[in-house]
């Protein structure tokens, strides 16, 4: 990646589009499949001159080649903590080292299972019991030569993290929240098989702040911004814009928060939504 900051040009764009990854661009059924209609919609929008950005909770390391090969102009990663455009890093928030150290200590006391994510590594602090979703995600994020380390590795650091805790550990988790709420934004990602999932990023950052940054950077009006997602960590993105789209099958709180609800990803939902708004076709 090139170093430094890319200056904006006088080029104008018809608009800017932001896409979540999981459940929006690729399926969440273990296949990690990208429908051909999704590929076509992205190609068509790009040919019409729109700026196309991924807007994801994933760090850039975990945006694999098959997604990058779709031809996006840039990436809002780690829920707004890292923004990249045409190979340049425009923004990257670094959590102070002492806060990182204290965070790991508090996580251990809470008995939470966590995967830590940074732009150049993923990390685990293996607990007594490993949540099955965490195990699957750790395997997925270890593929294609991606670096997975232990929190005891001297080079360990993180930009954000995702955690799971058992319902019987709720009191311990509440104590962790008292600490986390000082330094982090906390998103509840729902419950599965007795485990509750949460996504935690530095205070003041979200998918929404990433959008705000880029609208200012490119001098694009809010009316010409469109966002597509399916999860609770997309709520800050939906709240930031006028034109918001939820994929079919999204949680009810997501469906209730958008301007338009489309079909599921496997029912050509992304293509149909972009056609609905006249972005393609």
Q: What pTM, to 2 d.p., does this model score?
A: 0.91
User: Is residue 55 in some structural domain?
Assistant: yes
CA nearest 25: which of 235, 257, 230, 242?
230
Do 87 and 222 lie in one domain? The reply is: yes
What pLDDT does residue 12 have? 86
**Residues 38, 79 within the same domain:** yes
**Count of beta carbons in the 10 Å neighbourhood of residue 222:** 13
- Of the three residues 202, 218, 239, the one that is the final residue of a domain is 202
Last residue of a domain, one of 160, 182, 202: 202
Residue with tokens 């058992």: 166
Task: Classify burial at 254, counting beta carbons within 10 Å of its beta carbon; exposed 0-12, middle 13-18, buried 19 or more.
Answer: buried
Gyration radius (Cα) of the chain, Å: 19
Residue 36 sits in the same domain as residue 114: no
Residues 31 and 73 placed together within one structural domain of the fold = yes
Domain that holds residue 265: 16-93+205-276
Q: Residue 81 is part of a domain; what is its CATH number?
A: 3.40.50.1000
What confidence score (pLDDT) does residue 29 get? 76
Answer yes or no: do 176 and 194 share one domain.
yes
pLDDT along the chain (281 residues), means of 10: 52 94 88 93 97 96 94 97 96 97 96 95 81 88 89 96 94 96 93 91 96 96 97 92 96 96 96 97 89
pLDDT at 10: 66
State the pLDDT at residue 2.
Answer: 41
Question: CA quadruple 191, 196, 197, 200: dihedral positive or negative?
Answer: positive
């Amino acid at each position: 990646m090139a170093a430094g900051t890319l200056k904006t040009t006088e080029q104008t764009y018809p608009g800017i589009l932001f896409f979540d990854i999981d459940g929006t661009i690729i399926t969440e059924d273990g296949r990690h499949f990208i429908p051909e209609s999704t590929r076509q919609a992205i190609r068509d929008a790009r040919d019409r001159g729109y700026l196309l950005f991924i807007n994801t909770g994933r760090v850039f390391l975990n945006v694999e080649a098959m997604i990058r090969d779709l031809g996006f102009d840039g990436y809002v990663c780690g829920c707004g903590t890292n923004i990249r455009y045409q190979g340049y890093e425009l923004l990257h928030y670094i959590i102070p080292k002492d806060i990182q150290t204290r965070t790991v200590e508090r996580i251990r006391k809470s008995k939470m299972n966590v995967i830590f994510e940074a732009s150049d590594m993923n990390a685990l602090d293996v607990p007594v019991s490993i949540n099955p979703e965490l195990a699957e995600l750790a395997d997925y994020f270890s593929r294609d030569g991606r670096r997975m380390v232990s929190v005891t590795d001297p080079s360990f650091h993180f930009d954000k993290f995702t955690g799971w805790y058992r319902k019987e550990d709720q009191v311990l988790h509440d104590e962790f929240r008292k600490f986390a709420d000082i330094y982090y934004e906390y998103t509840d990602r729902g419950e599965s098989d007795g485990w509750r999932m949460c996504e935690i990023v530095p205070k003041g950052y979200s998918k929404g702040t990433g959008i705000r940054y880029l609208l200012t950077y490119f001098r694009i009006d809010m009316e010409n911004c469109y966002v597509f997602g399916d999860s609770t960590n997309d709520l800050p993105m939906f709240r930031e814009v006028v034109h918001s789209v939820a994929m079919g099958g999204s949680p009810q709180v997501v469906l209730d928060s958008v301007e338009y609800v489309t079909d599921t990803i496997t029912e050509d939902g992304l293509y149909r939504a972009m056609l609905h708004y006249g972005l393609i076709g």
